Amino acid sequence: MTIVSSKRDRRILLVGFGQIDKSVFQILGSELPKTFPYKVIFAATLPIPAEAYYRRRHQYFSPIFIKKLKSVPHKPGDLILGIVDVDLFVPGLNFVFGQADPQSCAAIISLTRLRPSFYGGKENSQLFARRVLTEAVHELGHTLGLPHCSNRRCVMYFSNSLMDTDIKGYKFCPQCQAKLKNRLK
């Protein structure tokens, strides 16, 4: 996959589903350009799709959000990042922090399990912001064709738990950084 845009035209479109605190968009808007050579734009707010809710699980089916993101107006080469504050899942996993579709360059992240309070901890805005950024960078890495990495300190490492997310952080390992640089040529 080759990104079909000039460097100056590259954009990450942020799309909120439902109510998302403005601070999340501010964090992503200021931090993502430090990792990706893209302009970050708030593109839209969409309703949470009712058809994504699975009553038995009390969770939302992540692929439906990806499908909705594909319909957001965008240019070739844009990356689309959806943000939602509901618990997401995909078949075969109890939950996901996010999901990406490299073919459409669309990804979704969930804020719900990134909050320390979800697991009974005290609120910590700095830790929450770091987790949001980590998951956003991870899913955007997938939209650019990067696979999971075996390096536990790399943002592309698969997170089975929040501990994995906290350990890896939002930086690419040297190998994934080289892959990213190659993708962005």
Residues 36-51 have pLDDT tens digits of: 999 999 999 999 999 9
Question: What is the chain's mean pLDDT, rounded?
Answer: 94
Mean pLDDT, residues 91-95 taken together: 93
Active site residues: 139
93, with CB counted inside 10 A (0-12, 13-18, 19+), is: exposed
Q: What is the pLDDT of residue 185?
A: 84
Residues 130-151 have pLDDT tens digits of: 999 999 999 999 999 999 999 9
Instruction: Pick 11 or 5 by higher pLDDT.
Output: 11
Q: Tell me: pLDDT of 4 over 60.
A: no
Which class is 7-147 in CATH? alpha beta
Q: Tell me: pLDDT of 158 over 80.
A: yes
Q: What is the pLDDT of residue 7?
A: 53
Entry pTM: 0.93
- pLDDT category at 2 given cuts 50, 70, 90 is very low
The one-letter amino acid at 20: I
Which H/E stretch holds residue 176?
helix 174-183
Which H/E stretch holds residue 99?
strand 98-101
98, 141 Cβ separation under 8 angstroms: no
Q: Tell me: pLDDT of 8 over 80.
A: no
- 78: tokens are 């844009």
**Segments making up each domain of the chain, as ranges:** 7-147
